[in-house]
A and B are shown apart, each in its own frame.
Chain A
């Protein structure tokens, strides 16, 4: 369904953002859990209206993200991956034991508040945000950090602030998606949100393209809709996705949408001089 696609888009964008600064986070599943449980507990147990609850869920997820972000600052590459993996599981186990939000039994009785409009409003805002930020100082700073952290720091980019901002924002996004998910699925279990979810969040970005945010969007759409179209593969869809990822890593590791593809699509709509200049520009 389109709503699920929208939620998945928000999730993959939440992975994409830290990743664009070089921070591969497997914790997005955990942040999603925080957003889901917090917002659901607020609406179900405390009677808070949906939108404030959603926002609070996102903000709390973001705060946890920033807290996690501090140790993450010094840790590179694979260690960060493992750290975020650990965090994700710690969060899952926390909610598994947290009686207030249902513990093992999960949280139910959530009212349906998520609809096409509010989800896609957020999607649109995010897409606009990503589109506008890429060529700015901030966008380039992210790419710079991703390429070479030390050089970026020498150039004057405040690593600490930028990394925390990016990691925290990613967490907020995942938290919002979690809130939407909770009020759509109407019943949430901590087991929905572990490392498995984090992997489900990162696969579409890998398939769609890790270099540009459009890749995350495309990947989510593919992952959500292909099983609908190819009904026959429904029971095998995870196997198919796994295989697709494996094959793609061999043939096209950067994903479907990469910078040169975007550039060639863009230049088709622009003037000749743009095309001329593009051809001479070095890839970013």
Chain B
């Protein structure tokens, strides 16, 4: 039973990680908390839903579409809004993303209604059993895709030139610029990747719970903040580990303690980390409190 829940937790946690990575990447590069990222996640879910419903796509294709759509949205946000905000007022970029989040959430509610909708049963979920543990194929897909994306991202950031450029900008924008990195393009690209991951996560979460609603973004945003703090702001590995940890803790606490306090664990963790170890479990960017 415990092992079963552990696997559930890892599955849930891996989707959390995908979104948290986006937050932490953007924070690393721009030192801005992108409040609207949770809504991008939600929009990704809806794109996936519509692809399946309207365009009759398969799930994998729907995920790709969601990634592309969300990625474009993210880049649009950067190019159209964030870039124009003067950075001296430290509340300004944050407030703008709050405004965007409100716009997105309300907008989607107006278009699709505030109800929770589900994916149609496009495929049979088969259940596999290993001893006491049963996993169904949906969960396998989610785990596989989530881990695949995370692995790809890690390789990308470590090995490719663009990945190195992103890390350079995160460490010191001025130096990166002096070395010839195009800050604007890298920032836009970072937004794009983060948003694409979030879009994928949106479809995956929608599949996992068979529930998509305009309000799923806010909850994910709050959880991601907790994860970011747990893992250390700006720390990608931290975000991945933090997501898994939080997912497991949430599932285990729901099963063994009480389900109504589920969300309280995330926030309680957040508060505790901030009080006792603000740099997170894995360490953070050098600049704090900007």
Contact between B99 and A78 (Cβ–Cβ < 8 Å)? no
Given contacts A86-B267, A242-B102, A245-B99, contact A210 B222 (CB under 8 A): no
One of A90, A206, A243, A253 near B103 (C-beta < 8 A): A243
CA distance A69 to B223 in the complex (A): 23
Question: What 0/1 pattern do residues 189 to 226 of A give for CB contact below 8 A with B?
Answer: 00000011001001100100010000000000000000
Q: Shortest distance in angstroms between A246's beta carbon and chain B's nearest beta carbon?
A: 4
Bits for B266-282, please: 1 = Cβ < 8 Å to A, else 0: 01101100110010000
Q: How far is the CB of B116 from chain A (nearest CB, A)?
A: 15
Given contacts A90-B264, A249-B93, contact A82 B85 (CB under 8 A): no
Closest A-chain residue to B270, C-beta based?
A: A86
Chain B CB within 10 A, most for which of A79, A82, A94: A82
Indicate with 1 or 0, residue by residue over B102-115, a CB within 8 angstroms of chain A CB atoms.
Answer: 11001100100000
Q: Which of A109-117, A168-176, A231-239, A268-276 contacts B (4 or more CB under 8 A)?
A: A231-239
A222 to chain B, nearest CB (A): 14
Query: In the complex, are the beta carbons of B271 and A87 less than 8 A apart?
Result: yes
Is the CB of A264 closer than 8 A to any CB of chain B?
A: no
Interface centre among A24, A76, A87, A239 (most CB of B within 10 A): A239
Instruction: Give B60 Cβ to nearest chain A Cβ, in Å.
Output: 33
A79-B288, A246-B81, A250-B84 given as contacts; is B263 within 8 A of A89 (CB)?
yes
The residues of B that contact A94 with a CB separation of less than 8 Å are: 264
B101 interface contact, C-beta 8 A:
yes
Contact residue among B81, B233, B267 (Cβ-Cβ distance under 8 Å from A89): B267
User: Could you tell me which residues of chain B, from 79 to 130, have a CB within 8 Å of some CB in chain A?
Assistant: 81, 84-86, 88-96, 98-103, 106-107, 110
A71 to B278, CA, bound (A): 11
Contacts of B107 in A (CB 8 A): 239
Bound together, the chains give a CA A235 to CA B106 distance in angstroms of 10
Total of A-B residue pairs, C-beta within 8 Å: 128
Interface membership of A124, Cβ < 8 A: no
Contact between chains at B102 and A254 (CB < 8 Å): no
Which residues from B are CB-within-8-Å of A210? 91
CB <8 Å contact, B106 and A79: no
Per-residue A-contact encoding for B10-44, CB less than 8 Å = 1, 0 else: 00000000000000000000000100000000000
Number of interface residues of A (CB under 8 A): 40
B229 at the interface (CB under 8 A from A): yes
Specify which chain B residues have a CB less than 8 angstroms from the CB of A97 in the assembled complex.
Answer: 260-261
Residue of A nearest to B107 (CB): A239
Find residues 240-267 in chain B having any chain A CB closer than 8 Å to their own CB: 260-261, 263-264, 267
Tell whether B218 is near chain A: CB-to-CB under 8 Å.
yes
Interface presence of A83 (CB below 8 A): yes
Determine if B161 is an interface residue (Cβ-Cβ < 8 Å). no
Given contacts A78-B289, A85-B225, contact A245 B218 (CB under 8 A): no
- Asked whether, in the complex, the Cβ of A242 is within 8 Å of the Cβ of B289, the reply is no
Closest to B289 in A: A76
Question: Which chain B positions have C-beta within 8 A of A79?
Answer: 229, 274, 278, 288-289
Contact code string A242-284 (vs B, CB < 8 Å = 1, else 0)? 1111100110011000000000000000000000000000000
CA distance A92 to B99 in the complex (A): 22
Known: A97-B261, A254-B89. 5 other contacts (CB 8 A): A77-B90, A82-B229, A239-B110, A242-B99, A253-B95
9 A-B pairs (CB sep. < 8 Å): A77-B90, A79-B278, A87-B267, A89-B222, A90-B264, A96-B260, A196-B218, A202-B95, A239-B106
The 8 closest A-B pairs by CB, nearest first: A76-B289, A245-B99, A242-B102, A242-B103, A253-B92, A249-B96, A86-B270, A246-B99
